[in-house]
Amino acid sequence: MPVVPESLRDIRAQFPIFARTVHDQPLVYLDTAATSQKPARVIERLRKFYSDEYGTVRRGSYLLCQQSTAMFECARKKAASFVNAERPEEIVFLRGVTEAINLAAVSLARSILKPGDEVLVSAMEHHANIVPWQLVRDMAGIHIRVIPMNDKGELCLDAYEAMLSERVKVVALNHVANSLGTINPIKQITALAHGVGAIVLVDGAQSAPHLKIDVRDLDCDLYAVSGHKMYGPSGAGFLYGRYSLLERMAPYQGGGEMIDRVEFSESTFEDPPYRFEAGTPPIAEVIGLGEAIDFLHDIGLEAIEAWDQALLAYATARLSAIPGLRFVGEAEARSGLVAFTIDGMHPFDVASILDRKGVAVRAGHHCAQPVMRHFDVPATLRASFGVYTVPEDIDTLAAGLELARDMLS
Ligand code: PLP
């Protein structure tokens, strides 16, 4: 059993939710890939902002507004440093990854894509990186092509290379697949895409909570991050964009302070990132996300990454011993989760039995129906880890799975 490292030893106590029970059992939370629990300091940051500091941003000359604006822009600096962006203006605050990819698809379709252009997505995408491209397909006259994967859940890089041509204008894929845990070789994929002049958009929903992200090293053009999966409040995330690209991109939504000048005949727009932040933004949530970034920095992303790998190895070994259990997603490079089926047992039935034992896991298609079709399964069970996950959680999961096997077989 791996030993919890010094930097994570008192972490669980910082999450108030673990003080509660579920069905009279201690909570074993193994659904961080869906959304993470929140540390007390993030909860306290929201409380303090709403009770002592609340005001709108960028819309008033009074003190509360100036202070809110300063806190909001400070969160932008933290987000920029979190992904190693060149400047804070490369960060656009949004509700999360779904909104970030919708923004990218609509904006690129309006400003850059031409009929006949191709957008490549991978076979292991979340619906959030498939459907937005389908929604703009007819408007923009583009084609969507799919980079295949093998049965371990790894992208076929030879096939990807063969698909690249001057027609490919966007390559959009996840850094870590939420249904398989695969870590994709983004640096290599980006270098190949740039060879044909394509823009690379990375869905970082599952990578940002576990890996150290460096957009300059990856050299990607757009990188979407979800705050609620990395210990921040729900309702806030961000899109990193290379500034020279953001400058070429049309607005996504209109209204509020995203404008330069408005006439009834036409309007002109602010520079990025404000051009993409129409309406009142999720102010408290963004400030809370800044606190979550500090929380992650204080632990250290290297320590988080190492603990994630230790948990992954332990869970893989522990669950392999369960008769009839098959892993779905066995890539060499993985992060954050194990997904599996058990012969003769429906994932939903197993998840209900686990829930009675206080164990929260996800059962379903994980918003990745094409992945389920690839592996010819209707659904899988997924146990995903966070900074508060301890090896005993995996032992409780394994015991619950044994119990489910006894009850259902
Ligand atoms: N992409 C991936 C890989 C995800 O796992 C998720 C959420 O589960 C999303 C996108 C959607 O993210 P959000 O909830 O921030 O919109």
Contact (Cβ atoms closer than 8 angstroms) between residue 164 and residue 190? no
Going from the C-alpha of 34 to that of each of 228, 246, 286, 302, the distances in angstroms are 9, 29, 19, 22
Nearest residue by C-alpha to atom 16 in ligand 1:
98
- Joined together, the tokens standing for residue 397 give 């999961």
Cα dihedral 18, 177, 201, 253 in deg (nearest 10):
-50
Q: Which atom of ligand 1 is nearest to the CA of 128?
A: 10
- Joined together, the tokens standing for residue 408 give 């259902």
SS3 323: coil
C-alpha 368 – ligand 1 centre gap (Å): 10
Test site for ligand 1: of 211, 229, 286, most ligand atoms within 8 A of the Cβ: 229
Q: Is the pLDDT of residue 409 over 90?
A: no
Test site for ligand 1: of 97, 175, 371, most ligand atoms within 8 A of the Cβ: 97
What is the CB-side half-sphere exposure of residue 214 using CA atoms within 13 A? 7
| CATH code 3.90.1150.10 for 6-30+300-408 | yes
Cα dihedral 117, 129, 258, 286 in deg (nearest 10):
-160
C-alpha 346 – ligand 1 centre gap (Å): 24
C-alpha 340 – ligand 1 centre gap (Å): 20
Q: Which of 65, 74, 156, 367 is catalytic?
A: 367
Give CA–CA dist 288/227, Å, rounded: 9
- Of 391, 392, 365, 358, residue with least CA distance to 26: 358
Nearest residue by C-alpha to atom 12 in ligand 1:
97
In 141-228, which residue ranges form alpha helices assigned H by DSSP? 157-163, 186-195, 215-218
- What digits encode the pLDDT tens for the residues 199-231? 999 999 999 999 999 999 999 999 999 999 999
CB atoms within 10 A of CB 273: 23
C-alpha 404 – ligand 1 centre gap (Å): 29
Give CA–CA dist 243/249, Å, rounded: 10
CB atoms within 10 A of CB 131: 15
Give CA–CA dist 83/93, Å, rounded: 14
Nearest residue by C-alpha to atom 4 in ligand 1:
205
Contact (Cβ atoms closer than 8 angstroms) between residue 238 and residue 80? no
Average of per-residue pLDDT values in the chain: 97
Where are the chain's structural domains? 6-30+300-408, 43-298
Q: Which atom of ligand 1 is nearest to the CA of 177?
A: 3
Q: Give the pLDDT band of residue 79 (cuts 50, 70, 90).
A: very high
**What local confidence, expressed as pLDDT, does residue 9 receive?**
87
Test site for ligand 1: of 184, 203, 223, 228, most ligand atoms within 8 A of the Cβ: 203
Q: Which atom of ligand 1 is nearest to the CA of 366?
A: 8
- What digits encode the pLDDT tens for the residues 302-319? 999 999 999 999 999 999
Q: Do domains 6-30+300-408 and 43-298 have the same CATH topology?
A: no
Residues contacting residue 110 through CB under 8 Å, at least 6 positions apart: 250
Give CA–CA dist 5/307, Å, rounded: 7
Q: Give the pLDDT band of residue 96 (cuts 50, 70, 90).
A: very high
Cα dihedral 16, 17, 23, 28 in deg (nearest 10):
-110
Give CA–CA dist 403/389, Å, rounded: 21
Test site for ligand 1: of 99, 182, 367, 384, most ligand atoms within 8 A of the Cβ: 367
Going from the C-alpha of 351 to that of each of 36, 215, 346, 356, 364, the distances in angstroms are 18, 37, 9, 9, 10
C-alpha 212 – ligand 1 centre gap (Å): 18
For domain 43-298, the CATH class is: alpha beta
Q: Give the pLDDT band of residue 42 (cuts 50, 70, 90).
A: very high
The mean pLDDT of 373-385, rounded to a whole number, is 97
Nearest residue by C-alpha to atom 6 in ligand 1:
205
- What digits encode the pLDDT tens for the residues 352-369? 999 999 999 999 999 999
C-alpha 31 – ligand 1 centre gap (Å): 13
- What digits encode the pLDDT tens for the residues 129-167? 999 999 999 889 999 999 999 999 999 999 999 999 999
pTM of the complete model: 0.98
- Joined together, the tokens standing for residue 157 give 């890089």
Residues contacting residue 102 through CB under 8 Å, at least 6 positions apart: 132, 135, 252
Q: Where are the beta strands (DSSP E) in 71-203?
A: 91-94, 118-122, 143-147, 168-174, 199-203
- What digits encode the pLDDT tens for the residues 265-324? 999 999 999 999 999 999 999 999 999 999 999 999 999 999 999 999 999 999 999 999
Nearest residue by C-alpha to atom 5 in ligand 1:
178
Q: Which amino acid is at 302?
A: E
Give CA–CA dist 250/269, Å, rounded: 9
- Which residues sit with their C-beta closer than 6 Å to ligand 1? 34, 96-98, 126, 128, 174, 178, 203, 205-206, 226, 237
367 is catalytic: yes
Q: Which atom of ligand 1 is nearest to the CA of 226?
A: 15
C-alpha 36 – ligand 1 centre gap (Å): 12
